[in-house]
Amino acid sequence: MCGPEWLEQGMKHVWLPYTQMQTTLPPLPAVSTDGCTITLADGTELVDGIASWWTACHGYNHPHIHQAVSAQLIRMPHVMFGGLVNEPALTLARRLAAMLPGDLDRVFFTDSGSVAVEVAMKMAIQYWLNRGQTGRTRLVAFRGGYHGDTMATMAVCDPEEGMHSLYQGALPEHFIADLPVNVAGMQALDTLLAQSAGSIAAIIVEPLVQGAGGMLFHTPDVLRTLRELADRHGVLLILDEIFTGFGRTGTMFACEQAGIVPDIITLSKALTGGTMALAATVARAHVFDAFLSDDPLHALMHGPTFMANALACACANASLDLFDTEPRLQQVAAIETQMRDELESCRSLPHVVDVRVMGAIGVVELDRISDMNALKSALIAQGVWVRPFRNIVYLTPAFTVTRSELSHLTKAIRTVVSELGQAAPHRR
């Protein structure tokens, strides 16, 4: 495709994410979005199955969000949060505290998911320091987990995903355990905590779905076990709801399905409905209280330049309005039913090892994807934007996706996966 001039000129100067720049397919020039459609420079329209890395839960360009951002843009796009506060941020903090379970009611704003997790880790470690307990600097995280790409968060990702051996020496060492999905796993974690609680600040987990680690699901029981073990051994529990928060698993927050309250929760992605960068780390009262002191060193020493950006917070408030005024959770339930029906037929295709659906997450797991570039191109040829990774082809559409758009997406997956079964080994 002969693209626009900005593409050719600019591509010489950008470094793309997760990309081997020497061998990658050229990226597609997106010029506009609307609802669940992404339009490319040559006019091609793709039905979006990913909602821009799981953020655009109301579809793109929702007029209510546009209106809120436009109004805030004129009034005050940004003002520093050190010594000054702004109405959209304080309103958002109050609304998040009201929505979240239990006494999760102190909101620390940041500008990306990874930083929100880093703040949660700092909060947990300093919580113990402020209470006079030194040496509790390690976290317990889980195989298959993913919490971000910054150095501190890589250290609590799955060892392979977080490239622990490549970066050996540069990353702090934490405990990486198996999720306690059965009695043996529970006993192993219990033993680890019994032996090492004195060096552990917190357990960190993505509730119900380990997303970037392979869209791996677990039951609410696992979360109840983690809450129980954290309480038994006196360590904090951090839930990373950056992917799962705001309806993705069928409830507003995944932890509601387990009926548990973490000590700290992290939020981002769909927080602004996918329009702007914003994240939040929310702490329970006892965590916040541990930072109150006459000693200035007991304060949380963190403050990103763009934290609590007024435009992003206005955007998030508009996104929360839409959860109140439009039937998002019913839409998620309908998407779940439709994906269960329509993806099920993939189960019998060659190379398919599992098909699973939770809320608005649909997964077709293959034994392997031998030619990722060919698979990606085949999906685009079907008129859809779906981004397989490792051995996973998955859908996380906007909750506003129409029945026919969703059918287009599931049919495209079925078609390209069945072609995989027939094809001779590809060459690029």
**Binding positions for ligand PMP, rule: CB under 6 A:** 112-114, 117, 146-148, 206, 211-212, 240, 242-243, 268
Set 60, 240, 263, 394: catalytic member: 240
Is 18 annotated as catalytic? yes
Cα(173)–Cα(138) distance, integer angstroms? 7
Residue 34: alpha-carbon gap to chain centroid: 22
CB atoms within 10 A of CB 377: 15
CB of 268 to ligand PMP, least distance (A): 5
Question: In this structure, what token pair is assigned to residue 12?
Answer: 């010489």
Q: Indicate the residue among 110 and 225 with the shorter CB distance to ligand PMP.
A: 110
> Which one of 127, 146, 158, 394 is the catalytic residue?
146
Structural contact between residues 4 and 42, judged by C-beta atoms closer than 8 angstroms: no
Smallest CA-to-CA distance from 274 within 56, 7, 13, 101 is with 56
Alpha-carbon span 201 to 86, nearest angstrom: 33
Annotated active-site residue 240? The verdict is yes
Nearest to 394 by CA among 243, 220, 179, 207: 243
Q: How far is the CB of 106 from ligand PMP (least distance, A)?
A: 20
Residue 129 Cβ vs ligand PMP, minimum distance, rounded to whole Å: 24
Q: Are strands 264-267 and 236-240 parallel, antiparallel or unpaired?
A: parallel
Q: If 0-12 CB within 10 Å is exposed, 13-18 middle and 19+ buried, where does residue 425 land?
A: exposed
Nearer to ligand PMP, 312 or 378 (CB): 312
Choose between 112 and 331: whose C-beta lies nearer to ligand PMP.
112
- Phi then psi for residue 22, to 5 deg, are -75, -35
Q: Which is nearer to ligand PMP, 272 or 382 (CB)?
A: 272
Report, in Å, the least distance between residue 266 CB and ligand PMP.
Answer: 7
On the CB side of 313, how many CA atoms lie within 13 Å of its CA?
Answer: 27
| CA of residue 341 relative to chain centroid, distance | 25
Dmax (CA) of the chain: 70
> How far apart are alpha carbons 300 and 226 in whole angstroms?
26
Compare residues 88 and 211 and give the one whose CB is closer to ligand PMP.
211
Q: Which of 12, 18, 294, 324 is catalytic?
A: 18
Residue 42 is encoded by which pair of tokens? 């040559």
- Contact yes or no for 139/156 (Cβ under 8 A): yes
Q: Residue 331's closest CA among 246, 215, 255, 410?
A: 246
Give the span between the Cα atoms of 54 and 309, in whole angstroms: 21
Give the C-alpha distances (Å, rounded to integers) separating 249 from 13, 55, 143, 255, 339. Answer: 38, 13, 21, 10, 13
The minimum distance between CB 90 and ligand PMP, in angstroms, equals 23
Task: Decide if 60 is catalytic.
Answer: no
SS3 category, 245: coil
CB of 245 to ligand PMP, least distance (A): 9
CB of 270 to ligand PMP, least distance (A): 11
Active site residue 146: yes
- CB 420 to ligand PMP: min, Å: 26
Q: H or E element: which one contains 39? A: strand 37-40
From the CB of residue 167, how many other CB atoms can be counted at a distance below 10 Å?
Answer: 12
Residues assigned a catalytic role: 18, 146, 240, 269
